[in-house]
Structure formats: structure tokens, C-alpha cells
Structure 1
Amino acid sequence: MHLFSKIIVPIAILTSTFISSIVFAQTEQQCVACHQEQVSGWQQSDHAKSMAIADKNSVLAPFTEEVAEHYGQKAKFYRQSKQFKVDISYGKSIDTYTVDYTFGHYPLQQYLVETKQGGYQVLPFAWDSRVKDEGGQRWYHNYQDEEIKPADRLHWRQPLQNWNGMCADCHSDGLKRNYDLDKNQFSSTFTNINVGCLSCHGAMSESHLSQQQNKQSPTVATKQGAWHRKAGQNTAKWQGEKRDNSFMEQCFACHALRAPLTDGIDPKKAFLDQFSPQFIQSPNYHVDGQIKEEVYVYGSFLQSKMYANGVNCIDCHDQHTMKIKIAGNGLCLQCHASEVFDKPEHHNHQANSDGAQCVNCHMTENRYMGVDDRRDHSFKIPRPDLSKKFASPNACTSCHQQKDNDWAVAMLKNWQVKPRADSVSRQHFWTIKNGLPITIEQHLAIIADENLDIMSRATALQMLGQSTEQLSAPLLKPYVTHKEELLRLASANVGVLVHPGFRAELLAPLLDDSLKAIRVAAARALADVYIPEAVVASFDQAFKELTLANQLSSWRGEGRLNLASMAMAKNDLKSTEQAYKQAIEVEPYFDAVYSNLAELYRSQGKDNQVASVLNKGINQVPTSALLHYAYGLHFVRQKKLPKAIELFKKAMVLAPQDPQYPYIYTLALDGNGETDKAILLLTDYVKRYPQNQQLVELGLSFSQKRQNRQAFEYFMSLRQD
């Protein structure tokens, strides 16, 4: 593995003019002096190579006049003196940039360029650093299968490709974004250019440093114990003092899909005191909880039996190299009996083959960023039967790509492998995640089932809105005061379902929770209700934290959108309008902002401004189904159904996966006296969206209206009671 010669320890220090020179960080020098073995391991890690100043030692791509092209966008990479340059052209325009930093090293390396003062963007092309035999040693576009035009949120010059906001805090020690809300400008700083000692250990105390200088051994707090497998046990159990796995909070800070609540990461603070995590919902996760989008590790690992039984990151990964401790099945066989699990009788594949590797069945890979294969950490058993129901992947057909799920189910049956019976709660959880209804009693039973993992229970709690439009305070109260922090967080998020008259009393304890994520979620839920005098001070403080969190993210459209929502909750319509307009300035290709601003104008009876905003939005984002839908609703209110129908039809074309658009389209056809056409179309739509009962019910209604018995019987046959 290539080590960057200039990265001995994390060494870059920022000045007010960003990076002006490279010097040794004093605290890091002191670490190196006494922890040479740990530093040697760290030098082999991805952390050590997370970011570097671009020079001949850190840049892996040739930069020898190579040209990369993607849907008409061209990039030429070359060197000029000691600088690394790139010319990017789209049409006749050519822009030249200087590469200031490398980002990562394997299996890809990205490059950062300054596009405005203090603002750095990731180039649209990355270097595939894998060996040539694996398809590497080439330039490729970050979105290989898509044409990303300039008027697209994903275009490389837009906020979603911004280093300061999107990436920086997990690639450098002590990163501070320092975003100026009014100027829409960053002046970011960091302590060390890459991820080193400070990111995990924090700044050491003076007493610790003086101990090292006096060559005294520091006191290391440990938990005595080990994993032991007794005779007759297939899997080891922890023996000894209860494990303290709280250190994983530091890992989760970067290995989780989450929204930041603070500027920068403090390794000595709890994860939920700095971030609000995403739960395991669509579209980021499959129905059965497997990872789908780029969600990292937190959400999947918390579903696992390993997490529930006390396994932590460094049971499998070396804490400094971050590499797995043992190659192959030996890693798993530290705890799982080889005579049971590493046998063809268990895995039904030839010994030592790819199919016999534990991880290939229980930690399937997803590919992200074009070349980066990452494993699912929920450690699930292959379930092709669930794949048939939910279109989720499974290890069998992922490997045997020429085969289907029926084949895989049959093979498992031939092996006399019968999946363990799924609990009623688990089945109901999958049902709601698949978008189908269950009763409120069934839904509450999922949340109460302590045999389910905490991540699934918390996700179910957050999804209560699928089973009820309003929630009574007594039903939610046990989770407001629950010992499990994720259940408290989810109860705060779902608190808006409680009647405004009872909401403040119910959620008041969460305003003083020890974790910021819970406090700000409670403040968000209480923003539009009366706050009793006794809790005003707590609410004001939590609301201030919520405001600061939204301001931190206001370099992108969602942050400004959240600021607008907060102003709306306070009935401050002027500030709401201003925040929406600022969101458009910050991110002009974010369609939701136009839709929300139009809705604000609609509520004020400003129909001309509604049309103007939606027109502007469609001109900026012509591929937005949402804006065509919103504009169609405007014409419905104007009683101009033909125009509305045209726009709804366009929305269907732009977002064929969304059943809401055919629903509103056929509803408009009916309103326009074209009910028979609507019925005919619905017979096709219910096949296209087989799980959507709204379309079935609409078909039944129209069939009754037209006394179409044949159509009525057809839709009745599809009804799910």
C-alpha cells in the first residue's frame, strides 16, 4: 500500500487564510513520541489518507494531459509547474481550476478545487485507484449512468457537491465549517488536515501530557473480560464485567447518515448530542432493513444481534489501521464454532470458495461512488422469500445473477433450510415499511416488542403517522420518558400527531433531555403550540438550539427551508417568505422551495404570485414532477382542468415510480367528465403499483359512478381487507 511520504502524523494547521504552510501540530507530536506503534498502524489506515495537500506524493492520478468525457462534459488533467490543473468544458465554455487537495485514496481518489472564496467543490471526475486488472487506473464520472446538467442539484458546482458542508467534518481533525448565513460564505478551519488522534481521542489533558513527558505510564480504564465459547456452545458469549461500548459513539459520528446539530465534532460528546440520525426508512433502506442508499454503518449495525449482544467495532477492526483483524472466515470464527459454521453442511458451498465465505452470505456488498463496495452490517440471513415479497436483494441471487428468487427459495428448501419463523411484530413492521396499512394496535405492539432490535422499534415509532392521523398523549407518554434514547428521539419526532392542547405537557420533559437531538426534535414539535409559563425557559433554549442547527445547514436549500418552517410556526409570514427566497438564491435548482413558496402565496390568496413562482421553478427545474404537480393543483383551483390534466400527465412521465401522480391525474380526468377513460387507465395503474390501495379504491368509486360492473368486480378482486 502506498504511503504518502508527507503524512507521517496529521500535521496541517490552518491559519486565517486557510492553509498557508505545513507545520507539526504540537499535540500530535506528543502523541507520536510515546505511541509509535499506534502511529505506525494509523499510517496504514484510510484515516491517514482522508485528505492531503495536492502534491506529487499525494496525487495518485497521472495528470499527464488525460481527457475524460461524460455526456458532453469534458475534463483535461495536466500539470503546470508544481500545480495540478484541470480544464472543464461544457459546450463552448472552458473553465480552468487548480487542484488544492486530494480526498481519500482507495478505491477512488477525489480532488478539491476552490470555486469561490473559502468554498471548495469536489470535481465531477474521480480517479479509480484500483489496479488495472480490476478496472482501475482511469478517470470516471461521479454519476456514471446519468447526465448531470448545470441546472441540476447534483451538478458539481452546486451545494450538494460542496466540501465544506457535505464532507469536511469527517475527513479532518477539529473541522469547523464557519458558515456565514448572511454572506452565504464559508471560512472553514481545521486543526489537522486528515483524521488523526484528535478525532477519536480528543485533546489530551495537561495531566496526561505531563505524565508522558515524565515517562510515566498513564492509567488506562479497561473492562476486564473476554469472549468465551463453552463446550457445546456454537457462539461465544461475553464473560466478565459488562462492556462499555460507548466509544462507538465516536465511530458513529462519521459512519452514520445523520444531520449535524453542532459545528464540528467533539469525540468526548455523545453521538445524539451532536447529530440527529436517519432511521431505517425508505428510500435509504430496503423493507427488510438492508442498506440501499449510502447510509454507512450505524443504521444497519444497530439492527444486528451482534450489537445487541455487545459486539463492538474493534472486535473485528484494528483500532488504528481500521482493517479487519483476520482475513477470511477466521474473523467470524473468533466467536462462531468452526465445526458448525465453517462446514459445507452449513453453507452448502465448496470449502474455501467465495460462496463459503461468511461475509458473502451475511454481509452483502453494495457499490457506491462508482467503485466503492461496502458491506451491510446488519448481518442478516439470506431471505429470497422476502425478496419475492418486497423486491429486496438477497445474497443468493446477488451472486447467482442468472437465477431468480424462486430458484433461490427452492435451493434453500432442498438444503432443508427453513427460515426461523418471523414474529408477528416483525411481519407488521415489514408491512408498514412496504407502505401497507395496519391497525394502530398492531403498530403500537411493534414498538412495545422488546424482542425486536431498538432501531426497528424506534423506526416504527417514528412511522406512527402511517396508522393514525392523531395520537393520544397517554399512548406516547411511555416513550417520552423511556430509557432508550432512540425511542425518546422518535417520540419527539412523532409528537406532532398529538393534539396541540396536550402536546406541550407531554413533550415538556424532552426539552430538558441530556441529548441535543431530542431537545431540538421536541422544540420542533412544539413550535406552533402554546407553551406553559413553567416550561418557557426550557423551550426557548431548545428552540435556540434548533435555530442554530438549521442555520448550520443553511448553505443548502433544506436548511433555509427549515428556517422558513420555523418562521411559519411562529406565524411570521414575512420571515417565512424571506427564508424561501433566500433558499432559492442559495440553491436555485431545489424544487421543494418553489412549491413551498407557492403554497405560502396560495394561503394568502396571491394567485398571480403562485403562478409566477411555479413558472419560475419549472423553468429552473424542468424535470421536477413536484412542480408540475403543484402547478396542476393551481389550475384545478382556477377551474382550468384541461391545463391541470396536462401538467399531471407530465408529472407522471417525470416520476413514473410515484403512484400519487396517476392518482391525481385520473381524479382530474373524472372531474373533466372523462371517467370512462380514467377507469381504463386505472386498470393499468393498479398493475403498475400493485401495493397501492388508493388506486384500487378510486377504481371502485369510478366503476360505481359509471355502473361498470365488470370494472367494479375487477377492482374488488384487488382489494386488500
Structure 2
Amino acid sequence: MVLFSSLLKVMLVLSTLFATNTLAQGDSACVDCHTEQVNKWQQSDHAKAMAIADSSTVKANFDKQTAKHYGQKAYFYKNKGKYFVDISYNDKVQTLEIAYTFGHYPLQQYLVETKAGSYQVLPFAWDSRDKEEGGQRWYHNYANEEIKPEDRLHWRQPLQNWNGMCADCHSDGLKRNYDVQQNRFASEFSNINVGCVSCHGDKQQHSEQATKNKADTTHVTHSSTVDKGVWKREFGEDTARWIGAKRDNSFMDNCFSCHSLRAPLTDGIEPNNHFLDQFTPQLLQAPAYHVDGQIKEEVYVYGSFLQSKMFAKGVNCIDCHDQHTMKVKIPGNGLCLQCHASEVFDKPEHHNHDVGSEGAQCVNCHMPDNRYMGVDDRRDHSFKIPRPELSKQFSSPNACTSCHQDKDNDWALNFMKSWKIKPRIDSKTQRDFFMLKSGQPLALDSHLAIIADDNIDVISRATALQMLTFSTQEISSDALQPYLHHEQELLRLAAASVGTLINSGIRAQALGHLLDDPRKAIRVAAARSMVDIYMPQANLASFNKAFKELTVSLEQSGWRGEGRLNQGLLAIDKSNFSDAEKHFKEAIRVEPYFDAAYSNLAEFYRMQNKPAQVISVYNAGLNKVPSSALLNYGYGLHLVRNQQLPKAVPLFKKAMTLDPANSQYGYVYALSVDGTGDTKQAIAILKSIIANYPQNQQLVELGLSLAQKAQDKPSFDYFMGLRGTY
């Protein structure tokens, strides 16, 4: 998303517009004793996370500058020391004052107040890079797309709202204070940028004691980082090992609170609280991650780092990053060579590139970067090795062809063979996991074997466990039992989230103990899986408490369509149909271009046997979002159910055209064409789309069936050839 910049004010500033409290005591008093740490912090992105827009903070050129993007135009200028923008789409012009800067490098964004207490991120950002790098210019956040006012990504829509999308990670003590009933914010923070409090918590008592008698002058970041041990490489070892007491890396929960893709459970972030008591994390599913676990969408660091061998061995953030500047401690390969032997890894025999070249840099092979927000390059923290063979099979990227863009995966494979590099041999469970994540059907025993494999990292196992919801095979409660009681919290969380797979008659017995789990995310997931069953008296008090936590968690996203939609789905499971209808309608009111709200309301009316309302909702949705593949597909299914197949066919075709990545749309389109009697055309359609999904069993089997029906032997042989690839 364009809403987060990891970029950030040189001085702690009190916002007179938002903050109702004085500067946090732990921040304003820190300078007196911790000058060195504060000076370092002032160099950090955290210090520049957000600031009042003035001449000391605005980096962009506001000297009567114009930026254009398709039908959108912005004119930036100054007036009496303040910063303004006249922004228009076609003929509609609005003048807005720039209230805040957001970030600083490699881009700076700007916030404007569009209604009382609600701030939006402008669609144009300032490229802060040097001119030689292509910077010092205004550019649109979606440079290659026309974002019209009816698009969910338009800057006036909820997905570009500061209060809900961005605020809690750019200011200390942020509370969204969203009023669900009034659909408005009264957000406030204790400190405009990310200062001491966000990592250390409120140190007021510590400060008062130190001021009183100078007795306590410690400047330890977190007690957990005072390690009783050392990274040490013994004679003959290539890589250092941790020698000493087991490290307590729990402080990283503070880092993960913002450097992760997650859903909030509460309003705001409490420093030093457990990550799973404040958030439910996104696991490694598509489309956020590639099949091999590399980052794809803007998922930050948590999901990739938890896959890494580094994390498994006890490496933490501040082994590599200075805890106050947040910059890496040592430039170049020296950072990695703190633990990895230079005589082994920093030689052409290992990296096969010229010494000092870009290809000889550790990070360029093992931490390839992805570009987000137009100019922001961020590195993958799973520390993988280049795997062109996986790229060839699953279209995941690799460092070789990402750098040598004029070459293909076969070239990379041949080059690696010439280097005498032994091919990576994955275990069967690891290969099956790749297949599972690529969308291929997998036997239940093979699926469960992935989850049980201790040699696979925990977040990947949890992802596989969560993906049991996509299985078409019946799953016994015995298969889930080990994970409902597992010591690994992510496995308990994933097991709780798929608890609806357990027969309703025994679900309370199987999940009941998780209603009292130490972690809120797990309690909430368990409650969500139990809302539609009879609750025994023994579990009732715990369920009511966890259900309240679930309700609060859903309210945190009530300002956007998904939040209201999830409330509606919960109401359906509680058999509260009047509330469900209300929530679905509220989702449309809050976010009128959110197609899933129309789709679910239409499905609700279908369940209520109200066909006229179904048609009305689909027509309203397609009027607002005509480019929605989901709505075209859903309306087509409605027509099929009502024996109007010929009218449905063009809708299925449009859905497939709008979202070619969804193989289901192509499958149903071909099936519907066959249903009209044109089997030959249906086969041609399948052949035209199956190139994108050569290993899709569903498409291949349909092709075989249609070819057999048409007695088309060449086509039958074609699809049989594809059958051998999965």
C-alpha cells in the first residue's frame, strides 16, 4: 500500500491539533541523561515519521508546481508561510492546506484534513532522492494506473486514510478513537513522531527517580537485550554460534508491531506487550508472498524474517541495526562477516562475481529488494539463496535474473551448474508445501505431513495449517489436536482459526481451552470458530469474555468496508440476520466502491430467498464498480441458478478478462460455453487460458472431459500431456 512510509522529524514536536497530553515524560526528559542516544535517534527514520508541515520539515518544491496524472491534476504552492494544494479530477477543483509531512526519504507524503479529524494521504508524493537518481520531483503513488474517484485506491477513499491505515506506526501513543456509530475519528497521540516511548514504554517513574537523586542512570534499551553470551565462531567453523544463555528476543515484538502486515486487536500499540496480544499477523499466503516465501506485496519484515535461519538461530534486529539510528551497523559485506567467515563467503569461489562488484555483495543475492511506493526499495529478510529452478516452476523471482534482466531462468541454472554448485534438494514436505501454495490440490496426508515437519520453520507450518480451510477433504479433530495444544503460539493460532473444520458436536470440547489462552489473538480466533455452536456452561464465561475481545477487534477496522463486512459475517454465524443485513449495508455506505460488500449482501438475500433484492444489489454494485470481476462472476452465477445461462456467459467472460489470475473464472466461463452447446469453443477457451496454469488440475481435467465429449483426440492428447506435469 502507499500508505506507509518507513520514513520519518528531527525534533520531538507536540501537535497542537491532535495531542491532548503534553510530551510523554519518558521522551522530553530523556535528553537530559541520554544525549548520545537522542543524537543517534535524530538520525533515524523514526524521528522523521511525521511532522507539522513547515519550512523545516517540508522537502518538496511548493514553488507553484504542477503535477499531472491521467485526469488528475495538483497545483502546489505557498501562501503566508503555509503550504497548499489545489487538487482536481477533470473539472472539479478543491483547495486544501497541507497539515503534516509523512516520512522523509526516499519519499515524503503529505496529509490533508478532508473532514473534521479525518486526514487523507495526497495521491502525489515527493521523490526525495537526488536528481541523479531520478528524484527531486512530484510523482503519483500509482504511476502506471489511472485511479478514478470510484476506485477503492482513490486518495479520498478509506484505504488512503491516515487515521486508520497509517497513524499508529508513525506517532507515539496513537489512539484512533474511531466512533463506529458516527463513522468518524477523534484520533490523538502523545508525541507526533516515533520516539522513546514507542520502544521503551513510559519511563516516567524511572525519570523522576533519576532526577530526584541521580541514583538510576541506566540507559539499557530493553532488559532482554542484555545478553549473557556472545556470537562466536570456533576454529574450523564457517558461521558463528550463540554461546551462552538462551537469548530473550521478546523485545522484537515492539519492532514487529509496525514492521509486519497484521490486523489490530486493540486501539493503538502498547510498548513491550506481546505481539499476539495486540495483533493477528498475516501468514505467508498468496498474493502477499511468492510460493517460495519471498515477499511480494508490501508485507514488511515479520513474515520473511520468521522464515529465516537467522531467526531460528536467535539473531535479532539489533544484531544488524543500530538500536537508535536504525541504520545497519556496518556497511557492505562487513555486516554479514561479523558472523560468517570471510575466507569462505567473501570470495569469488562462493559468490562467483568479481570482488567489489554488485554481484559480490551478500545482500544482493540473499536479500534482494522489491520496490514499493514507486521509489522505496526494501530488502527481503528471509535470507534465501537464489533458486532459478523454483522460478521456472512457480514464477517466483530470483536474484540472478532480477539483476540480469536480459537473461532467463535456464541461463541462470546453466551458469550455476558451471560453478559446480550442488542443486538444492528439498524434502518431500517442502516440495509439497510449494505445490500447496501454488494452488495445486494435495492429498490430506501430504498436507498434514507439512504441518508436522519440525524441519520446516514455524510460520510456514502455521501457514500450511491455516490453508486446511481450502481442503476439500474431511478433516478429523484428531488431526488438529496436536496443534490446539502446541507450545508454538503461531501453530495454536492457526489451529484455532481453522477450528470450524471440527464437527460442531465436539468443537467446544476441542477448542474450549483456547478461550483462556495467554494470547489474545488465539482467544479471539477460538471465539470466532465457536460462535455458531452450542456453548456448554463450563465454557460460557470464557467464551463471553473472548467474544467481547473479538467484537472489539472487529470494531478496529469498522472505518473500512472489510470491518463492517466481517461484523456482518459474524452476525450470520450468530443467526442474527437483521444485524447481518445492517452491517452489509453499512459496509457499502462506509465504502461504496468495495465490491465484496455488494457480493455478500446479494448472497445474504439469496439465502433469504429474495431474488429481486439479489438483482437490485448486483445492479447497484455493477453501477458503482463495473470493473469488478467478483460482481460480474456473482451475477452470472445468479443467472445460472435462475436458468438464464446465455445471459450469464458474457458476465463470466468479463470476470475472466478483468481478473485473469483467478483460474476459477476461466473454468466457469469455459463450462458455461459448453453448457450452451458449443463444446468446441469451450475447448478453445481452455487452451487459451491454461498456458497461465499448466499445472491446474481442475482446468486440465475439464479439458479432458470436454475433449472426450467432443471426440477430439488431438485436444485429449494435449490435455493428457499437461496431466503429467502435476
Query: Conserved in 2, the CA contact under 8 Å of 1:11 and 1:28?
Result: no
Name 1:3's counterpart in structure 2: none
Encode CA deviations 1:659-683: one digit per residue, 9 max, x unaligned. 1112111221222222232123223
**1:222-301 mapped onto 2 (5 Å cutoff):** 222-301=226-305
Is residue 378 from structure 1 mapped to residue 365 from structure 2 by the alignment?
no
* 1:373–1:610 Cα change, 3 Å: same
Distance, in Å, in 2 between the alignment partners of 1:345 and 1:429 is 32
* 1:76–1:13 Cα change, 3 Å: closer
Match of 1:323 among 327, 331, 335: 327
Name 1:437's counterpart in structure 2: 441
Query: Conserved in 1, the CA contact under 8 Å of 2:24 and 2:202?
Result: no
- What secondary structure, in the 3-state scheme, does the structure 1 residue paired with 2:87 have? strand
Match of 1:11 among 10, 13, 21: 13
* 1:635–1:27 Cα change, 3 Å: same
Shift of 1:331: 0.4
Range that drifts further, 653-662 or 207-216: 207-216
Is residue 68 from structure 1 mapped to residue 67 from structure 2 by the alignment?
yes
Shift of 1:505: 1.2
Shift of 1:588: 0.2
Name 1:688's counterpart in structure 2: 692
Number of matched residues? 713
Distance, in Å, in 1 between the alignment partners of 2:379 and 2:413 is 23
State the TM-score, normalized to the length of structure 1. Answer: 0.97
Query: Conserved in 1, the CA contact under 8 Å of 2:10 and 2:48?
Result: no
Range that drifts further, 421-430 or 327-336: 421-430
Give 1:92's aligned amino acid: D
Distance, in Å, in 2 between the alignment partners of 1:464 and 1:603 is 26
Match of 2:482 among 478, 485, 490: 478
Encode CA deviations 1:180-203: one digit per residue, 9 max, x unaligned. 001100000000000000000111
Range that drifts further, 498-507 or 568-577: 498-507
Query: Conserved in 1, the CA contact under 8 Å of 2:206 and 2:216?
Result: no
Give 2:702's aligned amino acid: L
Is residue 575 from structure 1 mapped to residue 560 from structure 2 by the alignment?
no
- Can you give the 5+ residue segments of structure 2 that lack an aligned partner in the other structure? 1-7
Name 2:518's counterpart in structure 1: 514
Shift of 1:31: 1.2
Shift of 1:9: 4.3
Is residue 674 from structure 1 mapped to residue 673 from structure 2 by the alignment?
no
Query: Conserved in 1, the CA contact under 8 Å of 2:10 and 2:43?
Result: no
Shift of 1:446: 1.0
Query: Conserved in 2, the CA contact under 8 Å of 1:77 and 1:86?
Result: yes
Give 1:34's aligned amino acid: C
Distance, in Å, in 2 between the alignment partners of 1:327 and 1:312 is 18
Match of 1:358 among 357, 362, 366: 362
Encode CA deviations 1:497-524: one digit per residue, 9 max, x unaligned. 1121222211111111111111111111
Instruction: Quote the sequence identity (%).
Output: 64
Match of 2:416 among 391, 394, 412: 412
Give 1:429's aligned amino acid: F
Name 1:620's counterpart in structure 2: 624
- What secondary structure, in the 3-state scheme, does the structure 1 residue paired with 2:96 have? strand
**1:429-578 mapped onto 2 (5 Å cutoff):** 429-578=433-582
Shift of 1:704: 3.1
Shift of 1:213: 3.4
Name 1:121's counterpart in structure 2: 120
Shift of 1:207: 4.8
Range that drifts further, 498-507 or 104-113: 498-507
Distance, in Å, in 2 between the alignment partners of 1:261 and 1:248 is 18
Query: Conserved in 2, the CA contact under 8 Å of 1:595 and 1:630?
Result: yes
Give 1:30's aligned amino acid: A
Shift of 1:24: 4.8
- What secondary structure, in the 3-state scheme, does the structure 1 residue paired with 2:113 have? strand
Distance, in Å, in 2 between the alignment partners of 1:283 and 1:446 is 20
- What secondary structure, in the 3-state scheme, does the structure 2 residue paired with 1:102 have? strand
- What secondary structure, in the 3-state scheme, does the structure 2 residue paired with 1:435 have? coil
Name 1:719's counterpart in structure 2: 723
Distance, in Å, in 1 between the alignment partners of 2:721 and 2:338 is 53
Shift of 1:640: 1.2
Give 2:159's aligned amino acid: L
Name 2:100's counterpart in structure 1: 101
Name 2:168's counterpart in structure 1: 169
Name 2:179's counterpart in structure 1: 180
Shift of 1:688: 3.4
Shift of 1:218: 4.7
- What secondary structure, in the 3-state scheme, does the structure 2 residue paired with 1:463 have? helix
Shift of 1:370: 0.3
Name 2:85's counterpart in structure 1: 86
- Can you give the 5+ residue segments of structure 1 that lack an aligned partner in the other structure? 1-5
Distance, in Å, in 2 between the alignment partners of 1:682 and 1:329 is 50
Match of 2:712 among 696, 701, 708: 708
Name 2:39's counterpart in structure 1: 40
Range that drifts further, 682-691 or 60-69: 682-691
Give 1:137's aligned amino acid: Q
Shift of 1:212: 4.4
Query: Conserved in 2, the CA contact under 8 Å of 1:303 and 1:455?
Result: yes
Encode CA deviations 1:529-564: one digit per residue, 9 max, x unaligned. 111111011111111111111111010000000100
- What secondary structure, in the 3-state scheme, does the structure 2 residue paired with 1:582 have? helix
Distance, in Å, in 2 between the alignment partners of 1:474 and 1:205 is 50
Shift of 1:444: 1.1
Give 1:438's aligned amino acid: L
Query: Conserved in 1, the CA contact under 8 Å of 2:444 and 2:473?
Result: no
Shift of 1:476: 0.3
- What secondary structure, in the 3-state scheme, does the structure 2 residue paired with 1:688 have? coil
Shift of 1:13: 4.9
- What secondary structure, in the 3-state scheme, does the structure 2 residue paired with 1:677 have? helix
Distance, in Å, in 2 between the alignment partners of 1:212 and 1:450 is 51
Distance, in Å, in 2 between the alignment partners of 1:313 and 1:291 is 18
Distance, in Å, in 1 between the alignment partners of 2:660 and 2:359 is 37
Match of 2:349 among 315, 329, 345: 345
- What secondary structure, in the 3-state scheme, does the structure 2 residue paired with 1:120 have? strand
Name 2:667's counterpart in structure 1: 663
State the TM-score, normalized to the length of structure 2. Answer: 0.96
Query: Conserved in 1, the CA contact under 8 Å of 2:77 and 2:84?
Result: yes
Name 1:647's counterpart in structure 2: 651
Give 1:124's aligned amino acid: P
Distance, in Å, in 2 between the alignment partners of 1:240 and 1:99 is 53
Is residue 313 from structure 1 mapped to residue 317 from structure 2 by the alignment?
yes
Shift of 1:11: 3.2
Encode CA deviations 1:580-605: one digit per residue, 9 max, x unaligned. 00100000000001000000111111
Query: Conserved in 2, the CA contact under 8 Å of 1:211 and 1:217?
Result: yes
- What secondary structure, in the 3-state scheme, does the structure 2 residue paired with 1:133 have? helix
Range that drifts further, 655-664 or 320-329: 655-664
Name 1:335's counterpart in structure 2: 339
Give 1:297's aligned amino acid: V
Distance, in Å, in 2 between the alignment partners of 1:263 and 1:385 is 44
Shift of 1:410: 0.6
Give 1:12's aligned amino acid: L
Distance, in Å, in 2 between the alignment partners of 1:243 and 1:452 is 21
* 1:142–1:7 Cα change, 3 Å: closer
Is residue 636 from structure 1 mapped to residue 635 from structure 2 by the alignment?
no
Name 2:144's counterpart in structure 1: 145
Give 2:117's aligned amino acid: G
Shift of 1:273: 0.4
Encode CA deviations 1:605-624: one digit per residue, 9 max, x unaligned. 11111001000000100100
Match of 1:595 among 583, 599, 602: 599
- What secondary structure, in the 3-state scheme, does the structure 2 residue paired with 1:168 have? helix
Shift of 1:442: 1.2
Query: Conserved in 2, the CA contact under 8 Å of 1:470 and 1:499?
Result: no
C-alpha RMSD of matched pairs (Å): 1.6
Distance, in Å, in 1 between the alignment partners of 2:330 and 2:148 is 45
Distance, in Å, in 2 between the alignment partners of 1:304 and 1:26 is 38
- What secondary structure, in the 3-state scheme, does the structure 1 residue paired with 2:97 have? strand
Shift of 1:419: 3.1
Shift of 1:82: 1.6
